[in-house]
Structure 1
Amino acid sequence: MRTHFCGLIDEALIGQTVTLCGWADVARDLGGLCFIDLRDHEGIVQVVAEPGGGEGNAAVVATAAKVGYEDCLRVTGTVRRRESVNNKIRTGQVEVVATAIEVLNKAEPLPFHAHENAGEDVRLKYRYLDLRTPKMQRMMRTRIRLVQALRRWLDARGFQDIETPILTKATPEGARDFLVPARMHPGEFYALPQSPQLFKQILMVAGFDRYYQIARCFRDEALRADRQLEFTQLDMEFAWVDEKTVQDATEEMIREVFREVMDVELGAEGEDFPRMTYAEAMRRYGSDKPDLRFDMELVDIAELVKDSEFKVFTDWANADDGRVVALRAPGAASLSRKQIDELAAHAAKYGAKGLAWMKVEDAGKGREGVNSPIAKFLDDATLAAILQATGAQSGDLLLFGAATYKVASDFMGALRLKVGKDLGLVGEGWKPLWVTDFPMFEWDEDESRYVALHHPFTAPAVDDEADLRANAKTAVSRGYDMVLNGNEIGGGSIRIHRSSMQSAVFELLGIGAEEAEAKFGFLLDALKFGAPPHGGIAFGIDRIAALMAGTESIRDVIAFPKTTTAQCLMTGAPSPIPDKQLAEVHIAVRPKVAG
């Protein structure tokens, strides 16, 4: 139907006849002289229908005059140089003088215009129109180039692309699984995979050495800007490796992919990405994925305030698991009380019970130079020590957090990010790093048991099961995350490759021998038959694509995403299923319980 793409018409084609297909982006009738901006996936070119040249041209002009927004057209014409050059588009030096215009499909009035800032709900309901816009075409093509570059790198280095099952067995985090009824096995269910974790480990036992897969994964959990029910990850696994082998290889891959797709150099040339332990990241930034594009750091002040008269500080400063921390917001003393209250509300989302603050109006005047509701509880020496420890300058705002170490770190880390963005302190460019040495376990107060910080198959830093059992609270794992601009883009670990160690970890996680055999017997058996040391990593394709495309929401780089309420507005999913169909899979739906 066509000879060329609209967005690829250039000066080399001047004088040639071309046939184009696309949508009318803009149509203008200037009293017999008509202009149409014709758009396809490669871009826009100007089409001109002008009078003169007999009945044929008159018919072309008449057709052009009736063209509406997003009409689907086929245009034949001659390429010529434009009199009025448009340097904003790739084809801006030329135009196509139409000799034939065919309306392939007339568009009805659209629910929104491509050049409007339409609401997300209407964009998602009419996703095919949203995806047609140049902005969304650009974002999706960025994702496509990312995946292509990853495959090229992996294929060239001997990684083997192996598919793993979509219908599989429920995981230890079963509440997050999507379940699929097994029609041929009444009362039994498959689960959609949260990741291919166990299968890729078994592939290492099977001798495939280097595996990868662009894998679709599913997790039934609350949605947000960087999370969807179904998502895509680059899954990788290596046999006979340690942490540095995996990190060096994948760092090289990510550098090359950013170079190819974005023409960006990640990190300092000739130097590895910086490495930071989990403990250091939480201490300095209150996050296990710190954004290093700005310098604000948390300052521990427990020692300075443990004998103060401010009970909130003293209680947590003297608690075994407590933390009292300060954050200096440069130049933020001008914030109003309402703005500070908004910061407190933000911190509350991450567990804060309150937010103490201090405006440093004149750092040289000591007590007389500060404005704070808590200053009266601090003696002069303590106040001076806080100002010195935080490096406070005149015009700064100090924010304080006190709670358990984890909670204080979490909400003060979240405040650091918000204040950094609000004050315009976040720099340009790309700041990658590795975060390493994660805790092996976290204690879950609600369930009164340990849970795995990464997953139950991550190897501990110790080789002895007795040592792990004796020191579970402080045990460190061989896990590692790649972080970029405050986003975890990849997470992995060296895996447990001995059955006895895997059983010990299950035991510490409250998974008894009988349950472990029922859920993971196939893995425990596989580890007994000469399983090699192995490790891997998974990269979030959606998240990396969003970073490359310059958008904060992964929905912008997923062709058909769900809303934050887990719905597809275009198709109406999820939807009720007829009773007859439910009966075929031996399912009965219980009435919804009120309240």
Structure 2
Amino acid sequence: MSTLLEHGRTHDCGSLRAADVGATVVLFGWVHRRRDLGARIFVQLRDRFGITQVVFGKDLDAGAYEAATGLRGEFCVAVQGTVVARGDNTNAAMATGEVEVNATALQVFSPADILPFNVADDDKLDASEALRLKHRYLDLRRPSLQKNFVLRSRLATLTRITLAEQGFLELETPYMVKYTPGGARNFLVPSRLNPGMFYALAESPQIFKQLFMVAGMDKYFQICRCFRDEDLRNDRQPEFTQIDVEISFATPERVFAPIERLIRRAWSEILGVALPDPFPRMTWAEAMNRFGSDKPDLRFGLEFVDITDLAHKSGAKIFEAAGLVKAIVVPAAHAEPLSRGRIDKLTELVKKRESGGAKGLAWAKVQEGGSWSSPLTKAISAEFQAEISARVGAEPGSVILVVADEPHTVHAALNALRLELRDSLDLVKHSSSDPWRFLWVTDFPLFEKSERGYVSAHHPFTSPRLDQIPLLDSDPSQVLAQAYDLVLNGNEVGGGSIRIHQSDVQAKIFQVLGLSEAQIQQKFGFLLDAFRYGPPPHGGIALGLDRLSMLMCGAQSLRDVIAFPKTQKGTDLMTGCPSGADDAQLAELYIRHRDLPATPES
């Protein structure tokens, strides 16, 4: 007699419908739930496609019924039986709820011990994340996580299909690359065959994809793993995946077009959402001026309004020395929760260093008739109160919130304030009819100032705007880059640029960055050598596959869309990684243990 495994399953656990009534079927899966009512045993059988109810009874098959008495949650089994209609007992909450299977055979592939947490009650999960990560193979059985990975897989498949249809070649680049100090911290890999030498795990394929353009590949893409040894949080992992793209003879618009086509197709086919064509554009300067952020969330209002001129003339001393004074207005419909105590907490928020370090937060509640309720009323006349209210668009019941300081501080503080109000007042839910707001942010500064001088805002191969190349000699701080980010709902989901391919422009960039000839050769010599042989103009972008998947799923953490993630300390609780190495292994790599610094007593 053949086993059910040899027979093979006829359907998955999510596919049976009323049209299948009368069919003999074989299902494979896990026991999701089990109810023993004496004469009948009801089992919900689950696989990644869905759940089907299976009924065991002595009158249906005594042997199968007897075997079912020993079933427990997460046993892996096969069931054979006949599809019957559930009639008045239809379960509308299940896709298969119109039918059930009367079992005539049961085969237990493997039993299961009592689980450390219940994967069946997905909506009532109370296990800690540490426990779930330790048993990640069980955590991944949860239907909510499985849906995430089905979506991620579909996104990757659509990426390959859509880019291949547009003439892109899928090409691979090395994981182990030359170590170049500076930029993101690299993971180092010692070389056994080259004592004392190290590889670095690639933080991105940047240089190699540019070399593909030199090689005449024209259009490249790769879904690639990248590695960065940096401090972690919900949206960072030490190893992550990006959709990497490079195009010869590129302009920004020629980069935008295939990416928008990919995103629109993914949102349409996976989420059933139609996105605009084309996506809106906004310069970095405009984004900072209106929202104080280079990745603005456009799903709600609270745009900044410049009131510097009115504030300086108002007579209020707190505004006199401020380089910039800007306000945001919380509309009356959402302003009721902003009590004096709540505003005091918002004041503490904008004072925090990580929120800009503003000196304080001025505020005013607009009363009926237009007068203010505010500590500022003693210093600002009714006339200026009315002018400021008119400038910012405040009406009775609105709350005006003002920060006065240097521009960078004002923008950082108001951005932190705006995002806090978005979440605490649930403004996205109340204000937005469009849940997916994509935006291209363009024309970033080419350089940033540091204690050591100028540093590249992106990387040193980012092309300046061609009309601003003369400024590299006279005022590098004013030079804008041919760089662009793709932003979704306040999250950067991609970034790229047009690259420099002219040797004289590249030399000027290195000069501004203060790199010596020796440093240039050490870090980038092989790329510059390649650029001596007719490189085409080129540019590209990298999209975060993990982050796109997270946002599409509505997940709160990248760990919900990465199959085997690390914790915020970079550890794998399931495998116990990272782990030590014995002296013999280290000796092969010409490495030896060094005593760790003593830990101070608590």
Q: TM-score, normalised by structure 1?
A: 0.93
| Counterpart position of 1:264 | 273
Q: What is residue 230 of structure 2 aligned with on the other side?
A: 221
Which of 452, 458, 461 aligns to 2:462? It is: 458
CA apart distance, 1:62: 2.4
How far apart, in 1, do the equivalents of 2:207 and 2:552 lie? 30
Go from structure 1 to structure 2 and tell me whether the alpha carbon gap of 1:153 and 1:175 turns closer, same or farther (over 3 Å shift).
closer
Work out the percentage of aligned pairs sharing the same amino acid: 46
Give the match for residue 25 of structure 1: 32
Q: Render the CA deviation track for 1:162-213: whole Å, top value 9, x for unaligned.
A: 1001000234535511111122222221111111011001110110000000
Find the counterpart in structure 1 of residue 437 from structure 2. Answer: 431
Match of 1:328 in 2: 329
Q: 1:443 to 1:128 in 2, by over 3 A?
A: same
The aligned amino acid for 2:281 is: R
CA gap 1:505/1:352 in 2 versus in 1, 3 angstroms: same
Gap regions ≥5 residues in structure 1: 318-322
Take 2:370 and 2:150, find their aligned partners in 1: how far apart are those partners? 57
1:290 to 292, 296, 314: 296
2:484 corresponds to which residue? 480
Q: Describe the superposition over 1:5-42 as per-residue Cα deviations: whole angstroms up to 9, x where unpaired.
A: 11122233322222211111110000131000000111
Partner of 1:504: 508
Cα-Cα RMSD:
2.0
* Matches of 1:341 and 1:172, distance apart in 2: 45
Taking a change above 3 Å as real, the CA distance of residues 342 and 37 of structure 1, as seen in their structure-2 partners, is: farther
Which position in structure 2 is the counterpart of 1:239? Answer: 248
1:186 maps to: 195
What CA distance in whole angstroms lies between the structure 1 residues aligned with 2:161 and 2:255? 18
SS of structure 2 residue aligned to 1:102: strand
Distance 1:312 1:185 in 2: 64
- Alignment match, 2:49: 42
- Identify the residue that residue 524 of structure 1 maps to in structure 2: 528
Worse-matched range after superposition: 466-475 or 29-38: 466-475
Sort the Cα spacing of 1:464 and 1:524 in 2 relative to 1 into closer, same or farther, 3 A: farther
1:534 shift after superposition:
0.5
Deviation of 1:507 (Å): 2.2
Change in CA separation of 1:129 and 1:473 when aligned onto 2, cut-off 3 Å = same
> Deviation at 1:501?
1.6
- Amino acid of the residue matched to residue 409 of structure 1? H
Q: 1:334 and 1:264, CA in 2 relative to 1: closer, same or farther beyond 3 A? A: closer
Aligned to 1:320: none
Q: Does the Cα contact within 8 Å between 1:363 and 1:370 map onto a contact in 2?
A: no
Shift in CA distance, 73/421, structure 1 to aligned 2, threshold 3 Å: same
Q: 1:162 aligns with which of 168, 171, 176?
A: 171
Q: Deviations over 1:501-556 (max 9, x none)?
A: 22221222232221011110011111121111101111111111111111232211
1:504 to 1:411, Cα distance in 2 relative to 1, 3 A: same
Question: What do the CA deviations read for 1:62-120 (whole angstroms, capped 9, x no partner)?
Answer: 22222111111111111111131112111111111111222222211111112132332
Kept after mapping to 2: 8 A contact 1:460/1:477: yes
Instruction: Determine the C-alpha separation between the residues in 2 that align with 1:178 and 1:144.
Output: 27
Structure 1 segments, 4+ long, off by >6 Å, are: none
Distance 1:544 1:138 in 2: 15
Q: Name 2:554's counterpart in structure 1.
A: 550
Instruction: Give the whole-Å Cα distance in 2 for the aligned partners of 1:440 and 1:363.
Output: 48
- Structure 1 residue 138 corresponds to structure 2 residue 124: no
Code of the residue aligned with 2:94 in structure 1: it is: I
TM-score between the two structures when normalised by the length of structure 2: 0.92
CA distance in structure 2 between the aligned counterparts of 1:170 and 1:241, rounded to whole angstroms: 29
Amino acid across the alignment from 1:14: V
- Aligned equivalents of 1:482, 1:150: Cα separation in 2: 16
Q: What secondary structure sits across from 1:287 in the alignment?
A: coil
Change in 2 beyond 3 A, CA 1:584/1:75: same
Aligned equivalents of 2:493, 2:368: Cα separation in 1: 41
The corresponding residue for 1:591 is: 595
**Partner residue in 1 for 2:111:** 106
User: Residues 86 and 464 of structure 1: is their aligned pair in 2 closer, same or farther, counting only changes over 3 Å?
Assistant: closer
For the residues of structure 2 that align with 1:51 and 1:96, how far apart are their CA atoms?
A: 14
Where does residue 343 of structure 2 map in the other structure? Answer: 340
CA distance in 2, matches of 1:275, 1:313: 33
Rounded to whole Å, the distance in 2 between the matches of 1:583 and 1:403 is 58
**In 1, Cα distance between the equivalents of 2:21 and 2:566?**
45
Confirm or deny that 1:86 pairs with 2:91. yes
Match of 2:493 in 1: 489
Aligned position for 1:279? 285
> For 1:201, which of 210, 215, 239 is the aligned residue?
210
Measure how far apart 1:493 and its partner are.
0.9
Q: Give the Cα–Cα distance (whole angstroms) in 2 for the partners of residues 464 and 289 of structure 1.
A: 24
Question: Per-residue deviation at 1:314?
Answer: 2.8
- Kept after mapping to 2: 8 A contact 1:359/1:395: no
Q: Counterpart of 1:245 in 2: which secondary structure?
A: helix
Distance 1:127 1:100 in 2: 32
Judge conservation of contact 2:40–2:57 (CA < 8 Å) in 1: yes
Could you say what secondary structure the match of 1:128 adopts? helix
Question: Is contact 2:292–2:415 with CA below 8 Å preserved after alignment?
Answer: yes
Q: CA deviation at 1:465?
A: 5.3
What is the alpha-carbon distance in structure 2 between the residues aligned to residue 559 and residue 344 of structure 1? 40
Classify the secondary structure of the residue corresponding to 2:84: strand
- Count matched residues: 579
Cα distance in 1 for partners of 2:183, 2:251 equals 30
Q: Which amino acid aligns with 2:66?
A: A
CA distance in 2, matches of 1:388, 1:462: 41
**Alignment match, 1:576:** 580
Structure 2 contact 186–227 (Cα < 8 Å) conserved = yes
Rounded to whole Å, the distance in 2 between the matches of 1:250 and 1:236 is: 9
- Contact 2:75/2:112, CA 8 A, preserved across alignment: yes
Q: Deviations over 1:348-395 (max 9, x none)?
A: 2322244414241405242xx3133x4444444443333222222222
Cα deviation, residue 412, structure 1: 1.3
- Between the aligned partners of 1:131 and 1:198, the Cα distance in structure 2 is 36
1:315 and 2:321 matched: yes
Task: Indicate which of 3, 11, 16 corresponds to 2:18.
Answer: 11
